[in-house]
Structure 1
Amino acid sequence: MRYLFRPPATDATGLLSLPWHQPLEEWDDAHLLDVPQRGISRHVVRFVAVEGRVYALKEIAEPLARHEYALLAQFEAEGLPAVSVLGICIDRPDDQQAILVTRYLEYSMSYRWLFSGPQGERSADQLLDTMVVLLVRLHLAGIFWGDCSLSNTLFRLDAGTFAAYLVDAETVERYPSLTRGQRAYDVDLARERVGAELLDLRAGGLLPAGVDPFEVAEGLPRRYESLWEEVTREEVFRTDEQRYRIAERLQRLNQLGFDVGEVELITAEDGTRLRVETRVADPGHNRRELFRLTGLEVQERQAQRLLNDVRAYRAYLEQQAGRPVPESTAGHQWLAEVYQPVVDAIPPDLAGRLAPAEVFHEVLEHRWFLSERAGRDVGTTQAAQSYFTTELPKTPQELTTPSVIAGRK
């Protein structure tokens, strides 16, 4: 037998003592962990607990195991929402199939568990919306799932909402980008599978009476198209609206769980056309990206907001110059002409109440509010002056500020 494990390989040492030479369905219960209400699988799947960690083991043909192993490793490296793969066991005795090993997603729940609980009735729409977000994220990355279903998805609570993760990648195919037909086919497969799974729950008496399997499943394509349109559509607006309208659009995408790549502004007869490249970023990506472009070290969400402003500013510079502007140039120019003047303008008696990056974020929020009320972009300078006069004084003075420390000596 041979084992292929991804780093850190120390995770795998405790697994080596398991009876890999035996068919997975014949393993003794002493090695196995019961996971309640897990999804339906066409393969033999078992769970084991070793040295405080839980792993999912799936018996599958070696070519499919290698295919899934490689894809899940890619997804993890790119920060895509999928389970983490540990390794595979191949060349097992008597021509047995390979075993794919993935790390169990902590605090995750299957759809069977969620629908069979007391919260099932109000979870139907939430779960479908969450699964649609997952499917859109994968499609943006050029990933054709080919088997999108509730059984192949795990759900985890995230600040009162659900986050969805791909579990099964054996049917996945990856392309530079997906055609409309490929996306539509994937969505149609999801609709069929979700409908069948909900009917199965109803037959088992697990589905709340208020949930209609057909209605829920038939609504999936509509939910998908609505979200896809939101994250990929072009937007047209007047030139005097551009900065605050760009900020509004990028913030809306962030709230939906998507990050922003390139921002392109195109001057047209009907107004300025905004085109946004939407993507999913790996954890910490925004902090690293902002530091690379500007040298600023801030928190992740602050970095996301500041990067949005950098990209909007770069698009503005390119529109004014009529040519591409390198992102490094835009980053340094934004720092000198947009960010630093706001920080330098903070009144001395108010300095230290909030971190500089948080102040700038608040100014951007205030700018959006003022621009929305005025029906035009009021600009960062005017927004900053208004914020320093009306909003920042309301922020309690922190005990760590130099003025307070000096006053207590």
Structure 2
Amino acid sequence: MELQITATSPEHPASLLDLPWNIPLEQWPEEHLVALPRGISRHVVRFAQAGGEIVAVKEVGEWAAVREYGLLRDLDRLAVPAVDALAVVTGRTDEHGEPLEPALITRHLVGSQPYRSMFQTTMRPSTIRRLLDALAVLLVRLHLAGFAWGDCSLSNTLFRRDAGAYAAYLVDAETGQIQPKLTSGQRDYDVEVARVNIAGELMDLEAGGSLHPSVDPVLFGEAIAERYCDLWHELTRQSVYPLAQRHAIDQRVRRLNDLGFDVAEMQIERSPDGDTVTFVPKVVDAGHHQRQLLRLTGLDAEENQARSLLNDLETWMATQDDYTPGDPLGARPEVLAHRWVRDVFRPTVRTVPKDLRGVTDTAQIYYELLEHRWLLSERAGRDVGLEATVEDYIRTVLADRPHG
């Protein structure tokens, strides 16, 4: 049997041919390997340099390699966070002609770490909760895409932090399957497997002295099941609104915020029956909203102010014709944010007379207007709009406030 490389891109076979496929993976020379932290795996896994990128090589049976390769490519098409499948190598033999196991090649996820390397220094309970929240987000997104994982665990996940945000990525799809829609039983099975696996993995860390003494592995295992259920309910319940019901979208965002999640993306699809709104949640660290708002708009605000303003910006961007999340042909978030400041934020704040604003900064004024709009819209059962909000805000809030 001849060596065969099935790859997603024409350039990958050439770069992969330089690797020593005639040697068992655990015996590969150091000159080909890259020293990166590895998680626990049932199979031999190594990181190697192939051309200009780092790849993860996993030895596994041919049927399993081809199946997982296909599943990872499907997840990529579904835009679910997972490692990128690059190639499957079959027909491997050693120097004596004896067969060697095939290999699955995936791209190294830059900036990611397996959970064990993250726990080498005792991690604070609040950080552990954010990591588990990120895993709950991943599991929900997989289930929404029709993917039953079958073996959700910390070991089968990579974690990445980026500007205060936490994200989890599937790294092992061996036991998974994709269907048009999962049953409640399939989802419940995945959640139960996650609960048991995570509790066991945390117990293992506890036995090794790498777990904060205040962390109860069993309770944290149960917590991810609860977080998953809360998030699943919030993301899958009815979300079609009449055009005049923007406050209902704000209500959904607030509920996600109350659960401890933020909105990474929001998509609004227009139809005669109303707007269908889709949310993609994310997990963030303290101070994230301040940094994000300052980067996008130049506005310097407190954390709660920044969260509210970013939610308003995200909702407004989703209504713009030239904005499609992840589309390189669409307007960049920075461009839209500048337009929002110019066309929405500044004109709205300027409608509030300077003598009534007093020493209140513009970010706080806009934040108070958003809160007032929310209250008025809830009371009216419809979105009252910014113009009516400003008029009522000036009359009922600022009129009784000391000025100067």
Q: Is the 8 A contact 1:72 1:85 kept in 2?
A: yes
How far 1:276 moved relative to its partner? 4.7
Residue 76 (1) aligns with residue 103 (2): no
Kindly report which structure 2 residues correspond to 1:8-407, keeping only aligned pairs within 5 A, or say none: 9-36=10-37, 38-93=38-93, 94-234=98-238, 242-249=245-252, 255-257=262-264, 259-260=266-267, 262=269, 276-278=277-279, 305-306=315-316, 308-309=318-319, 355-360=338-343, 362=345, 368-374=370-376, 375-376=379-380, 377-382=383-388
The range that moved more, 137-146 or 359-368, is 359-368
- In structure 2, distance between residues paired with 1:385 and 1:243: 19
Gaps of 5+ in 2: 282-309, 323-336, 349-365, 394-404
- In structure 1, distance between residues paired with 2:6 and 2:56: 16
Aligned to 1:6: 8
Q: Describe the shift of the 1:143–1:279 C-alpha distance in structure 2 as closer, same or farther (beyond 3 A).
A: farther
Q: Is the 8 A contact 2:268 2:319 kept in 1?
A: no
Letter in 2 for 1:255: D
Q: Please report the RMSD computed on the Cα atoms of aligned residues, expressed in angstroms.
A: 3.7
Q: Describe the shift of the 1:258–1:307 C-alpha distance in structure 2 as closer, same or farther (beyond 3 A).
A: closer
Letter in 2 for 1:249: R
Helix, strand or coil for the counterpart of 2:264?
coil
Q: Is the 8 A contact 1:146 1:171 kept in 2?
A: yes
Letter in 1 for 2:247: Y
Q: Is the 8 A contact 2:5 2:13 kept in 1?
A: no
TM-score w.r.t. the length of structure 2 is 0.69
How far 1:304 moved relative to its partner? 5.2
- In structure 2, distance between residues paired with 1:152 and 1:367: 45
How far 1:74 moved relative to its partner? 2.3
How far 1:53 moved relative to its partner? 2.1
Q: Is the 8 A contact 2:7 2:86 kept in 1?
A: yes
Q: Describe the shift of the 1:35–1:11 C-alpha distance in structure 2 as closer, same or farther (beyond 3 A).
A: same
- In structure 1, distance between residues paired with 2:59 and 2:36: 17
Q: Is the 8 A contact 2:134 2:166 kept in 1?
A: yes
Q: Is the 8 A contact 1:83 1:167 kept in 2?
A: yes
Helix, strand or coil for the counterpart of 2:49?
strand
How far 1:147 moved relative to its partner? 1.1
Letter in 1 for 2:264: G
Helix, strand or coil for the counterpart of 1:17?
coil
Aligned to 1:348: none
- In structure 1, distance between residues paired with 2:368 and 2:273: 26
Q: Describe the shift of the 1:366–1:249 C-alpha distance in structure 2 as closer, same or farther (beyond 3 A).
A: farther
How far 1:63 moved relative to its partner? 1.3
Which of the pair is proportionally richer in helix? 1
Q: Is the 8 A contact 2:157 2:168 kept in 1?
A: yes
- In structure 1, distance between residues paired with 2:83 and 2:255: 27
- In structure 2, distance between residues paired with 1:44 and 1:189: 23
- In structure 1, distance between residues paired with 2:118 and 2:18: 34
Q: Describe the shift of the 1:44–1:232 C-alpha distance in structure 2 as closer, same or farther (beyond 3 A).
A: same
How far 1:259 moved relative to its partner? 3.6
Q: Describe the shift of the 1:196–1:365 C-alpha distance in structure 2 as closer, same or farther (beyond 3 A).
A: same
Helix, strand or coil for the counterpart of 2:74?
helix
How far 1:130 moved relative to its partner? 0.8
Identity score, percent: 39
Q: Is the 8 A contact 2:91 2:102 kept in 1?
A: yes
Q: Describe the shift of the 1:111–1:45 C-alpha distance in structure 2 as closer, same or farther (beyond 3 A).
A: same
Letter in 2 for 1:84: D
Deviations 1:292-344 (A, max 9, x none): xxxxxxxx99995346447xxxxxxxxxxxxxxxxxxxx79xxxxxxxxxxxx
- In structure 2, distance between residues paired with 1:231 and 1:365: 25
Q: Is the 8 A contact 1:68 1:170 kept in 2?
A: yes
How many residues are aligned here?
321
- In structure 1, distance between residues paired with 2:314 and 2:66: 36
How far 1:25 moved relative to its partner? 1.7
Helix, strand or coil for the counterpart of 1:87?
strand
Gaps of 5+ in 1: 268-273, 281-299, 311-330, 333-353, 388-409
How far 1:170 moved relative to its partner? 1.4
Q: Describe the shift of the 1:182–1:367 C-alpha distance in structure 2 as closer, same or farther (beyond 3 A).
A: farther
Letter in 1 for 2:168: A
- In structure 2, distance between residues paired with 1:230 and 1:190: 20
Helix, strand or coil for the counterpart of 2:40?
coil
TM-score w.r.t. the length of structure 1 is 0.68
- In structure 1, distance between residues paired with 2:70 and 2:341: 40
